[in-house]
Amino acid sequence: MMFELARGHLLQPAGLGEDDLERILARLCGPGVDLGEAYFQRRVRESWMLEDGSVRGGSWDVDQGVGLRAVAGTGTGFAYADSLHLPALMQAASSARAIARSGQSGRVQAGQAVQAKHRYAADDPTATGQASDRVELLRTVDAYTRSLDARVTQVTVNLSASFEAILVTASDGVLAGDVRPLVRLDIRVLMEDGTRREQGFAGGGGRFELAELMQPETWQEMAREAVRQGAVNLTAEDAPAGHMTVVLGPGWPGVLLHEAIGHGLEGDFNRKGISAFSNRIGEQVASTGCTIVDDGTLERRRGSLSIDDEGTPASCTTLIENGRLVGYMQDKLNARLMGVAPTGNGRRESFAHLPMPRMTNTYMLPGQHDPAEIIASVADGIYAVNFNGGQVDITSGKFVFAASEAYRIKNGKLGAAIKGATLIGNGPDVLTRVGMVGNDLKLDSGVGVCGKEGQSVPVGVGQPTLRVDGLTVGGTA
């Protein structure tokens, strides 16, 4: 059904039929070409912004085009067209096949529609509901947020919805389509107390309709969370500096896994032998209590996919099982070169970007310990519950993530709030220092954006409460 819908959005308006797809593939598959592929995409995005008590901006953005690639060995020829019309596509296909050598042309297999389970509804959130209701929601959120605490002096609310249709056809016989909704609400507050000013933030969303975010219980909880965080930060003291025990809260702190482990296990870096995890399959890289998966199959999550951008059905890939490294995330190119199967992790920002192995929803399975017991076990350290995101050098393995809400732990008890500080560690050994794993697995609220080689894609993370026995904390005290 998804394929039919995608075809209706992409091929029919341009007057393209399946014989045209075959012609494009035939043009792409020059001599020596292992894979020719055409990726059709159309994405509509609608967004609204409230600031200073009024809805000051709104935007509607549409992009469509076709990315054409020809893969020969480890090399890729790539071109794209911002029109869906056949002459432009044939011309782009000629540019992409410049990678081809002279000789016999490559073989094109007849396409057969890929069957995959749908992980989200096919409704277009940008075409559902009234603009006036969106504007009204933003004003209601603003009034409610301000009513929560007199120290709130600024409220910024952003609401966005996007709807993407993709269709991919390739010379290996893949013919697949998907339609992907994505919605998001963000609430940011500035709070002032005397001379101190601090921010609080909460947000969330996923692959569903705007109506769900517009439920009062949903946005009211976000508003309370943003104000709670701002209030905590108003009392925060300088963070300590040095190497110490760090307890990470459940949910969004799973950004640790994304940076420390996830990127290093993407197939391209390992095929090239440039990851700190290269050639380490089978080795113990984490404590035995750690099992980590990348799971694109979760229903309606921000990082979920029915099929990836190469038409491979999404899957749940175990990366680390009881501390042992068991798998990498793969797209087609790197899977073929490493002699393994693709894992449904071939993703691209848009038709104008090449696909590569990317994460979907990456999380650690729960362990045995009660979170309170984990905090009580720490004599001197910090408890970090919210983060701003992170970064990793996949070759040296060094990664950072910046805490935005954290507390001191002294003698097993939570103490004062401390200011945001960057934590830095070494990916291949940080998880060997996981001393306790909580029983409270939580996934994030749906705000993750992952950047790699200039391409952004939506992702999810999650984890239970974790105790890491030794991370460097970048405070000032």
Partner 1 sequence: MSDFLDRPEREIEQLQQLAQRVLDRARQGGADQAEVSVSSSLAREAAVRLGEVDVLEEARDRGIRVTVFRSQCSGSASTGDLRPEIVDECVDRALAIARHTQADPSSGLADVSLMADQAVDLELWHPVDLEMSDLLARARAIEDAGRQADDRISNSEGASVSTEAAVSVYANSHGFFGSSRGTSYSQSCVLIAADEAGMQRDYDWDSRRRFTDLAEPALTGAGAASRTVRRLGARRVPTGKVPVLFTPEVARGLIGHLVGAVSGSSLYRRASFLLDAVGQQVLPEWVSLVERPRLIGGASSGWYDGDGVATRESALVADGQLLRYVLSNYSARRLGLQTTANAGGVRNLAVLGGGLDFDQLLAEMGTGLVVTEVMGQGVNLVTGDYSRGAAGFWVENGKLAWPAEEITIAGHLRDMLQGVVAAGTDIDTRRNIQTGSLLIEQMMVAGQS
Applying the rule CB under 8 A, the residues between 124 and 163 that interact with partner 1 are 131-132, 134-135, 153-154, 156
- Give the one residue of 215, 322, 368, 395 binding partner 1; rule: CB under 8 A: 395
Measuring CA to CA, which residue among 282, 470, 450 is closest to residue 357? 450
- Give the one residue of 105, 140, 158, 199 binding partner 1; rule: CB under 8 A: 199
Where does residue 331 rank: exposed (0-12), middle (13-18), buried (19+ CB within 10 A)? buried
Minimum distance between the CB of residue 352 and partner 1, rounded to whole angstroms?
A: 7
Among the residue ranges 92-100, 142-150, 162-170, 312-320, the one whose residues contact partner 1 (CB under 8 A): 92-100
Q: Does position 448 bind partner 1 by CB under 8 A?
A: no
Say if residues 218 and 209 touch (Cβ distance below 8 Å).
no
Q: Does position 216 bind partner 1 by CB under 8 A?
A: no
How many whole angstroms separate alpha carbon 406 and alpha carbon 416?
9
Beta strands 380-392 and 398-410, pairing class: antiparallel
The smaller minimum CB distance to partner 1, of residues 217 and 273, is found at 273
Q: How many residues sit close enough to partner 1 to count as binding (CB under 8 A)?
A: 81
DSSP string computed for 303-325:
T--SB-TTSPBP-EEEEEETTEE
Q: Which of residues 284-343 bind partner 1 (CB under 8 A)?
A: none
Minimum distance between the CB of residue 406 and partner 1, rounded to whole angstroms?
A: 11
Beta strands 442-443 and 380-392, pairing class: unpaired
* Tokens standing for residue 145: 């947020």
Among the residue ranges 7-15, 24-32, 389-397, 437-445, the one whose residues contact partner 1 (CB under 8 A): 389-397
- Give the one residue of 22, 23, 58, 455 binding partner 1; rule: CB under 8 A: 58
The smaller minimum CB distance to partner 1, of residues 1 and 195, is found at 195
Looking up tokens 């912004």, which residue turns up? 49
Q: Does position 360 bind partner 1 by CB under 8 A?
A: no
Minimum distance between the CB of residue 177 and partner 1, rounded to whole angstroms?
A: 20
Minimum distance between the CB of residue 91 and partner 1, rounded to whole angstroms?
A: 10
Residues 6+ apart with CB under 8 A from 216: none
Helix (H, G, I), strand (E, B) or coil at 360: coil
Among the residue ranges 14-22, 113-121, 177-185, 194-202, the one whose residues contact partner 1 (CB under 8 A): 194-202
- Give the one residue of 127, 143, 274, 372 binding partner 1; rule: CB under 8 A: 274
Minimum distance between the CB of residue 472 and partner 1, rounded to whole angstroms?
A: 5
Beta bridge partners of 443: 462
Minimum distance between the CB of residue 9 and partner 1, rounded to whole angstroms?
A: 14
- Give the one residue of 30, 32, 77, 125 binding partner 1; rule: CB under 8 A: 77
Minimum distance between the CB of residue 428 and partner 1, rounded to whole angstroms?
A: 9
Q: Does position 386 bind partner 1 by CB under 8 A?
A: no
Say if residues 341 and 312 touch (Cβ distance below 8 Å).
no
How many whole angstroms separate alpha carbon 105 and alpha carbon 436?
57
- Give the one residue of 103, 273, 282, 339 binding partner 1; rule: CB under 8 A: 273
How many whole angstroms separate alpha carbon 252 and alpha carbon 249?
8
The count of residues in the chain is 477
The smaller minimum CB distance to partner 1, of residues 148 and 191, is found at 191
- Give the one residue of 107, 117, 272, 413 binding partner 1; rule: CB under 8 A: 272
- Give the one residue of 13, 15, 75, 173 binding partner 1; rule: CB under 8 A: 75
How many whole angstroms separate alpha carbon 119 and alpha carbon 146?
37
Say if residues 395 and 266 touch (Cβ distance below 8 Å).
no
Say if residues 445 and 300 touch (Cβ distance below 8 Å).
no
